[in-house]
Structure 1
Amino acid sequence: MLMTWKKVSICCSIRTCQRWQTRPFFLPGQRHASSKKYSDTILLPKTTFPIRPKNPAAEEVEIQKVCGFAELYSWQRQQYRQKDFVLHDGPPYANGDPHVGHALNKILKDVINRYKLLRGYRVDYRPGWDCHGLPIELKALSKGRDSFRSLQPLQIRNKAKQFAEKAIKNQMDAFRRWGVMADWEHGCYFTFDKEYEAKQLEVFYKMYEKGYIYQDFKPVFYSPSSRTALAEAELEYKEDHVSHAVYAKFPMSTLSPALKDIVGGRRDISVLTWTTLPWTIPANEAMCYTPSHEYSLCQCKTTGQLYILATERVEATAQVLGTHFEVLNTFPGSALEGSTCQHPTMSGKVSPLLPAQHVSMTKGTGLVHTAPAHGMEDYTVALAFQLPVLTMIDEDGKYTDQAGPDLNGRNIFTDGNETVVEQLRLAGHLVHEQNYKHSYPYDWRTKKPVFIRASLQWFVNTNSIKDRAVDLIDGVRMYPEGTAASSLKAWVSTRNYWCISRQRVWGVPIPVFYHRQSGKPLLTKESVSHVMSLVRSQGTDCWWTLPMEELLPGDIIRKAGYSDVSEFEKGADILDIWFDSGVSWAAVLQASGRVADMYLEGKDQHGGWFQSSLLTSVAVTGSAPYRSVFVHGFAMAEDGTKMSKSLGNVVDPNLVVSGGKNRDKQPAYGADVLRWWVAGSDVHSHVYIGNNILNSARDSVLKVRRILRFLLGNLSGFRPGEHTVSYNQLRPLDQYMLHVLYQYAQKVTDAYENFHFTKVQYLTLGLVTKELSSFYLNITKDRLYCDDQSSMGRRGCQTVQFHILDVLTKTLAPVLPHLSEEIYLHHTCLGDEVQSVFKSGWFETDPAWYRPDLEPLWRVADDVRDAFNRQIESADPRLYDVAIFASSTVYDVLKVLQTEETSCTSDLCEMMMSSFVSLHHEDHQGNSASSVSQQSVSNVSQHQSVILNTDGSKQSAPFTLHVSPASHQKCERCRKYVAASPTTPCDRCLAVMADSWAT
């Protein structure tokens, strides 16, 4: 077990150890001219390692150069390793400067890669960039949508590529500065690379060939602000969107026989419906109900109007309308079958009442107006009942002339919607209108509302893939366990199709040709293979630069059963960027069999890259592209708010590392502090960052640094091959410290294996502050400083500290690579052949160090030490002598640490840090206490007890401490009160000086 040690921490600074410098002392016969200070004979820590970096940013850059950060990845790829570890990089968008999210993601990957390298793996990591798509295109086109219309496709593509290349350079420079290990010159991938684009087309055709890709006219999310179709993953939902909602009546045209019998001779009956999208009413083709629910014929007490609506919605609807409904008849929904109603704004148009399962009873009236071109469920109803699917809305979100002269050219989100409401009012069919706040989908790039619009698009039939994909998720190790897998399953299992066509130009063209007369697509193995060959040599620009004769040669046309290229035109759509990045397993992972050991990205990728990679891989190979998936959260301001430029709380990672103009407000923390912040965060949840958090991270790194510096200083002159003390010759305290170190090493290795980096940090800070600073390094200073340089006790302590430094340095290396490499630069025990810590492998610990049998001994000693420290008035225990009167069980335990009755050099005395310790059996307490009490009237005696675990049962064992002022004189060399005379050092110090002092 790891024990909690109290009291003073070590003094790690050589500068503060000047207390050791005292007045000169002369041996008999020495002349004053040749005198030395006592401090000249004390072995204080010596190291060139600075206590803190003066300029962290500049010093880290120099460490990267000197220690070969740029060459490390290539070096390890050339080594023979029995194991490979493949971490496939999810490509970030090349559409902006590096941000905190990048830092979180890339540093997490690097910590894992560096740990795997130390554990003997050959790491396969190729950083990538997602270079296509609307985010880049929009930023590249500074004039927005007008530029898209005025520029030629190649002009837009050139602007977008230049923008992406600049963003890639900025991001890459930041990733390198953060210490991310990779082959940055030759080992990256980009989705606009020719070979990558060709591989993407290959995957596209394989999926098409297997029947997973098809073209259809169906509703999809459409963004008028981006002028393209969108997938679900490209949406964000605004929770406070306000719609101009209406209750409208559709007068009944014909009643089914069953309904006639129910309502009798009543006339002027209307079905009542509610919608948040009045602009869809002109496209109405049906009214849907649920056959299994009850419906009622009601009369409005205010107007006398007769309405049909769901029985369970009567009361709520009347309350919204501010009236009262009298229920005249109640009947099953099935009675509505065969009835029709009039269109409320288009004279002469009739809409049937149709059964459907999507009708909700939680809001509205239980009757849903159905516009097949503008709703997913509506479209399903249209397919089932062969209804027309008419699109009256263009790419700009404006009505076409099909909607009539009053609506033509009006925008559905503004004047078009209001015009429809006014048409309902003029026709007498507007029952009620309201502003309704609800969740509504927005384009995640432009932050503007989208709508559902039927159009001819290309789709992936995920229905035929998702069952297999969900089953495969069970075989993938997910981090965090449970929630990550269930979230990914939910995304995949609810996706019926995936729209992969986009109406833009910055991307990979869908390699299809359309017959001008019939509109039929030409998409064959030969046509796609030919386009792929052109892309491999010229890139996808060829789709816009080459004439049709070169894109679609005559032999391919004739083989397809046509005669002339003039019969065809090339497609104008590009592939969804999620398809771009989703096929990276095929384009990048060839050497690893197209399966990665790990994918690591943010939790938003459940609906993005994790999903698109899984679906495309299952479609082509029948297997998942990853063995494990690590999901992290998003960066947040430290006060819990979302970061935004408008709030001014965005944290720039480059400023964190290098500092700003005002160093007081924007200090240069260095990359290691940024990395420590990442490792110390609860990465699977929200990850908070701010000045207070960064300051805390910096303080922790400095705390660890001071301990490492102290260890380096103590190892000055220690040569492991010559001075290492064998385990059996170590003192009990040293053996116990190796036991503590062994347990730490096992726990920290297990934490790394399970990617619990916060636990690594917690364990390390615990070892540094409690076991080392407050205990072992503190109480062994006297032995290290004042014993003979080559004494067994001192060399044993150095042996232990050598192992501690090795374990600590390698534990910290994945998280703090700059600090760890700096340790190696100043490590005097490594000889002339100093190499990178990452070339030395993981630490090794001897199982013989594991000694749980030592724990009771040191638990008792610790309790006695705590009792002593509580009893003394001064913080300096050397001012006291202590006599311990112990019961048999306690006495037998402590006797291992002190065989003689009274000692100033025993392990027990070292533990207590007092000048003298006397150990007595409680039977001698009377005589000894009397003797001690005669030494000083300030003698203090207290009865104590410790808890011992004997034969599986805990029992209290008593002891008594007699504490008195030190009985001897102060030794001016070791500062302990163990000298016989105030002018003469103690015997131990005299013996040491006799060997080291020049005469």
Structure 2
Amino acid sequence: MTDTPSKKDYRDTVFLPKTDFPMKAGLPQKEPAILARWQAADQYAQLREARAGREKFILHDGPPYANGDMHIGHALNHVLKDTVVRTQTLLGKDAPYVPGWDCHGLPIEWKVEELYRKKKLDKKEVPAKEFRAECRAYAQGWVDVQREQLKRLGIGGRWDKPYLTMRPEAEGAIVAELMKFAESGQLYRGSKPVMWSPVEETALAEAEVEYEDLTDSPQIDVAFEIVESPIAELVGAYAVIWTTTPWTIPVNQALAYGPDVEYRLIELWASSDSNKPMEYVEDSALEFLGNRPGTALKFLVADGLHNDFAQRVNNCVLKRYPDIGLRISSTFPLDDRTFKGSDLAGTLVRHPMHRLGGFYAKPRPMLAGDFVTTESGTGIVHMSPDHGEDDFELCKANGIEPVFAVERDGRYRDDWLWLGGADERRRSVINKPFNAPDGPICSDLREVGALLSATADYRHSYPHSWRSKAKLIYRCTPQWFIGMDQDLVQFSPKTPAEKSWEGEGGAIDPADEKPCAARSLRQIAMSEIEATRFVPEKGRNRLRSMVEGRPDWLISRQRAWGVPIALFVHRTSGQLLVDSEVNARIIAAITADGVDAWEDARAAEFLGQDRNPDDYEMIGDILDVWFDSGCTHAFVLESDEWPELQSPADLYLEGSDQHRGWFQSSLLESCGTRGRAPYKAVLTHGFTMDPKGMKMSKSLGNTVDPLKVMEQYGADIIRLWALSVDYTEDHRIGDEILKGVGDTYRKLRNTFRYLLGALEGYSDTEALPVEEMPELERYVLALLGEVDGTLRKAVHDFDFNLYVRTLTDFCNEDLSAFYFDIRKDSLYCDPADGVKRRANRTVMDILFHALVRYAAPVLVFTSEEVWGTRFPDDRSVHLLEWPEIPATSADDTRWDALRDLRETAMEAIEPLRREKIIRSGLEAAVTVPDDKVPQGFSDADLAELFITASVTRRQGTDVTVTRTDNHKCGRCWRLLPEVTEDGDLCARCDDAVSQMDTAA
């Protein structure tokens, strides 16, 4: 008995995809090697050469701070910047990128001080040059660390020569910018209350302040005796102030009332529910009532706030003396009469500590203040011009000057009469025990009978240093300011990079260089905001509101590590020395030797032979670091050191917090020296939250370290995440989110792997003209053209979420789940020279060249791996330009209907497959409603597109599926009527095999 001969195995005759490109990415291992190749080839220089002479696109890098490892915010920010640069480069533009770092400032100085403290050294005992050298070394160390971390993230740029604000050339340029403000008359020294950190001993700008909700702040009511008033019945009564800053009472110089507020005199008296005598109150907490039941005193408060005031007093007394049943009662005498605030003009009060004499002996005036409200308190506000903006302005308008009682460390000065240096209770004024209801301020006020209530339960938002997290105070000190509202002098009509100040008169509009009316810095900045593009648009309103309402620009700091305010002031006249020759010598010295050049020993050198150094004060303050970074457009974009750059920048891109920081300081600096913004567009991104939408915090343990993510997943995963979220709003990251990103990445990688395998051996001789292609290929190319247009618009709009979503959806839905699925039969089984197969491979080649370019700005390492797999000897994918897509069109409505019908058919097949009636769609005989089939598709076309054995039409509404009776081709596995027995070949496969046999 003989065996039945088996059917021939045709697997070797099928054109299966072949590629060495692995599905397993192994990015953490592969990426460093790819990065090393880029560095060895100096890819940045290659790009500059390749794009030489092209239209430029300049993204100016906002300097991150050189203090600590890269965090997830750095990663998002730099991926966005890199993607902008890479997409513009892909479009054929010359888009250089010069990274930079902010190297001066308090955080670095603070860290170095910590290192000194660990060694039991006092910074004040270390020579200034030595201390600055330590700061410079510390900053350089972190620059080097962050540079390698950012390079590892795939960020391309001029890493061999970044800009650093601590380079002598940069420090000299910053001083030169300062000199422009001085020479134009915009710079002045004034004594104003500024946000001050007693811990860090320096003034802070608004951008360095953050607010934290406090629930235990003090609130006190204090009585000021009225000693003189045009309203006779007020004399002998007490004006009551309410404050949450008891420590400012020792510097009080006036009281403020609302001119339109109604005020009322009320009486308070004490009574007891027990038989204990009032003398039981031994510490005179009720001395204001004479410690006698039934004795009443009169208090002036705003009408409508008297009940709240009486209740605060009552609650405070009850809490302090619960065992004698003490009560505070109130009534409204004087025929229920009220007083208009304006009637109080000319009223004088006595400071509660008047018995100390000296500063406290002089009566305090009551002044009209439009800022006084009746929302809380008593409607009367005590004024300390040293410690409040409204206080300062009102007192200044009435001839009352600050007294500078609080020193750098937040203590009252040694010679201050109350709580000065000799008082053993002396502490920093912001110190909680000192400023508390039982602290020395309140204790002394209580002792003289002026403290009516004091609790530590007030809830409000309080300013803190965003770096040290220490509480801040308003403190009046001599500081340097740039005025926001004075008219500016004239710009000379030179090139934008050479704008300078000359003479008096109107400004020259940089757009057309026509004279226009003199404008202030605020007006110019507001105009430039309107002319700037904002992405998202809401950024315009945010920056506009900040500039519109901001005070004069405080630019001075009282620290050591920074660029000096390199100016001289005449000791007798107090006049700022403005001399271009002196300024030139100073700038040259700092450019050559750095900030250490600004030292007393060189004063004579700077001033020249015509001036005596003894006649001039050499300013010892440094510049606010926001002024440093605000000048970067001047010493980077306009510098010969980076000839690939130009000014103004096309784009500034930072987090939304920079509306109060770098965006604003750059705008003001450039508008004040050049009459224009330093940028054409501003893009802002939100902040990265944890998976629950909570702010990341090391203390909460919910941070995501990008360095660890790269170790585990690779840099391309971080990049794909950063470009997949809606970065214009706050967004999230976490393990599950990253796993989802990983799934998206695998689908993209699989698309490239399929293309590489399908194009094995492909050459241009195989290409088929578009007009000779089947309709399906022309439809796919039309889809590619639509994708191309969407991606171009996304690049223009900086909408990378749309960019990534469009790319991934096209790969997953239009290619993998549709086109690749349909055409794999022709790819695998058609004759090598078959029209469908040639058309398919031609389209796949077009797709490959387009998709690898589209993906390159996103998946910088993977795209290089993909390109190198197919073209191992060719140049980098990142040197290529945007693909040219063959022009073709398709009837989208017709194809959409076809794809909907295909989806319905596949859903109808699925139940039979689950029930194992059929194993795949190839065994399905599908019947579809005739009126659902778009015109122009035959039943054979439908079977091919649906990947089924057959498709027939009938009247009706439902799609039905049965198992076909056809036999399976032994090569392509399609079940066709022409195959008479399973394993035999269909006509197409027989032809393909015959060609192979002939060729062999």
- Which TM bucket (shorter chain)? 0.7 to 0.9
- Aligned partners of 2:141 and 2:350: how far apart in 1? 58
Aligned counterpart, 2:699: 646
Q: Deviations over 1:849-886 (max 9, x none)?
A: 35436436624653663465367443511113335562
**SS class of match (2:332):** strand
Aligned counterpart, 1:161: 136
Give the one of 410, 413, 417 matched to 2:427: 410
Shift of 1:743: 1.8
Aligned counterpart, 1:936: none
| Normalised TM-score (structure 2) | 0.86
Correspondence 1:479-494 to 2 at 5 A: 479-481=535-537, 483-494=538-549
- Aligned partners of 2:597 and 2:202: how far apart in 1? 22
Aligned counterpart, 2:185: 211
Q: Is residue 582 of structure 1 aligned with residue 630 of structure 2?
A: yes
Give the one of 65, 71, 75 matched to 1:103: 75
**SS class of match (1:745):** helix
Correspondence 1:794-813 to 2 at 5 A: 794-813=837-856
Q: Deviations over 1:130-165 (max 9, x none)?
A: 111111111122256873222221121011000000
Q: Is residue 366 of structure 1 aligned with residue 379 of structure 2?
A: yes
Native 8 Å contact 2:693 2:731 kept in 1: no
Aligned counterpart, 1:691: 735
Q: Is residue 741 of structure 1 aligned with residue 712 of structure 2?
A: no
- Aligned partners of 1:422 and 1:723: how far apart in 2? 96
**SS class of match (1:312):** coil
Native 8 Å contact 1:867 1:944 kept in 2: no
Amino acid at match of 1:975: W
Give the one of 536, 548, 567 matched to 2:591: 536
Amino acid at match of 2:143: I
Shift of 1:67: 5.0
Cα gap change, 1:653/1:148 in structure 2, threshold over 3 Å: closer, same or farther?
A: same
Q: Is residue 141 of structure 1 aligned with residue 113 of structure 2?
A: yes
* Higher mean displacement: 410-419 or 367-376: 410-419
Cα gap change, 1:324/1:791 in structure 2, threshold over 3 Å: closer, same or farther?
A: farther
Cα gap change, 1:401/1:139 in structure 2, threshold over 3 Å: closer, same or farther?
A: closer
Aligned counterpart, 2:292: none
Native 8 Å contact 2:211 2:462 kept in 1: yes
Q: Is residue 706 of structure 1 aligned with residue 750 of structure 2?
A: yes
Shift of 1:519: 5.4
Q: Deviations over 1:497-542 (max 9, x none)?
A: 1211111111111112344566554343222211111112211111
Correspondence 1:108-127 to 2 at 5 A: 108-127=80-99
Cα gap change, 1:255/1:59 in structure 2, threshold over 3 Å: closer, same or farther?
A: same
**SS class of match (1:288):** strand
Correspondence 1:198-347 to 2 at 5 A: 198-240=172-214, 242-256=216-230, 259-260=231-232, 263=233, 268-300=236-268, 302=270, 304-322=296-314, 325-328=330-333, 329-347=337-355
Native 8 Å contact 1:602 1:634 kept in 2: yes
Give the one of 379, 382, 393 matched to 2:392: 379
- Aligned partners of 1:205 and 1:983: how far apart in 2? 90
Cα gap change, 1:702/1:48 in structure 2, threshold over 3 Å: closer, same or farther?
A: same
- Aligned partners of 2:134 and 2:903: how far apart in 1? 72
- Aligned partners of 1:386 and 1:789: how far apart in 2? 97
Q: Deviations over 1:31-64 (max 9, x none)?
A: xxxxxx411101111111111223x122012222
Amino acid at match of 1:676: L
**SS class of match (1:641):** coil
Native 8 Å contact 1:309 1:365 kept in 2: yes
Q: Deviations over 1:178-233 (max 9, x none)?
A: 111112113x1111112211111111111112121101122111111111111111
Shift of 1:551: 3.8
Aligned counterpart, 2:531: 475
Native 8 Å contact 1:463 1:496 kept in 2: no
- Aligned partners of 2:814 and 2:299: how far apart in 1? 80
Native 8 Å contact 1:373 1:454 kept in 2: yes
Cα gap change, 1:208/1:967 in structure 2, threshold over 3 Å: closer, same or farther?
A: same
- Aligned partners of 1:246 and 1:529: how far apart in 2? 55
Aligned counterpart, 1:676: 720
Cα gap change, 1:276/1:399 in structure 2, threshold over 3 Å: closer, same or farther?
A: same
Aligned counterpart, 1:573: 621
In structure 2, list runs of 5 or more residues that go unmatched: 271-288, 290-295, 315-327, 356-360, 487-520
Give the one of 19, 22, 29 matched to 1:50: 22
Native 8 Å contact 2:968 2:984 kept in 1: no
- Aligned partners of 2:945 and 2:64: how far apart in 1? 55
- Aligned partners of 1:95 and 1:147: how far apart in 2? 22
Aligned counterpart, 2:476: 454
Cα gap change, 1:860/1:168 in structure 2, threshold over 3 Å: closer, same or farther?
A: closer
Shift of 1:553: 2.8
- Aligned partners of 2:215 and 2:619: how far apart in 1? 36
Correspondence 1:759-770 to 2 at 5 A: 759-770=802-813
Aligned counterpart, 2:412: 399
Q: Is residue 182 of structure 1 aligned with residue 157 of structure 2?
A: yes
Aligned counterpart, 1:34: none
Correspondence 1:952-967 to 2 at 5 A: 961=960, 963-967=961-965
Native 8 Å contact 1:300 1:326 kept in 2: yes
**SS class of match (2:888):** helix
In structure 1, list runs of 5 or more residues that go unmatched: 1-22, 27-36, 558-563, 659-667, 923-942, 946-959
- Aligned partners of 2:842 and 2:862: how far apart in 1? 22
- Aligned partners of 2:798 and 2:417: how far apart in 1? 62
Shift of 1:325: 3.9
Q: Deviations over 1:675-724 (max 9, x none)?
A: 011101221121322211222112211111011101111111221x2112
**SS class of match (1:244):** strand
Native 8 Å contact 1:511 1:523 kept in 2: no
* Higher mean displacement: 401-410 or 134-143: 401-410
Q: Deviations over 1:629-678 (max 9, x none)?
A: 001112222222222222222222111112xxxxxxxxx21110010111
- Aligned partners of 1:576 and 1:390: how far apart in 2? 25
Give the one of 878, 892, 898 matched to 1:858: 898
Native 8 Å contact 2:430 2:473 kept in 1: no
Give the one of 702, 716, 719 matched to 2:760: 716
Aligned counterpart, 1:82: 54
Native 8 Å contact 1:64 1:70 kept in 2: no
Shift of 1:579: 0.5
- Aligned partners of 2:300 and 2:40: how far apart in 1? 75
CA RMSD of aligned residues (A): 2.3
Aligned counterpart, 1:424: 445
| Normalised TM-score (structure 1) | 0.86
**SS class of match (2:82):** helix
Native 8 Å contact 1:824 1:835 kept in 2: no
**SS class of match (2:454):** strand
Amino acid at match of 1:427: V
Cα gap change, 1:272/1:877 in structure 2, threshold over 3 Å: closer, same or farther?
A: same
- Aligned partners of 1:272 and 1:614: how far apart in 2? 45
- Aligned partners of 1:851 and 1:81: how far apart in 2? 41
Cα gap change, 1:536/1:46 in structure 2, threshold over 3 Å: closer, same or farther?
A: same
**SS class of match (1:487):** helix
Amino acid at match of 1:907: D
Cα gap change, 1:433/1:39 in structure 2, threshold over 3 Å: closer, same or farther?
A: same
Q: How many residues align?
A: 892
Q: Deviations over 1:742-793 (max 9, x none)?
A: 2222222212221111112222222222222222111221111111122111
Native 8 Å contact 1:136 1:164 kept in 2: yes
- Aligned partners of 1:192 and 1:545: how far apart in 2? 21
**SS class of match (1:944):** coil
Amino acid at match of 1:527: V
Q: Is residue 635 of structure 1 aligned with residue 635 of structure 2?
A: no
* Higher mean displacement: 839-848 or 290-299: 839-848
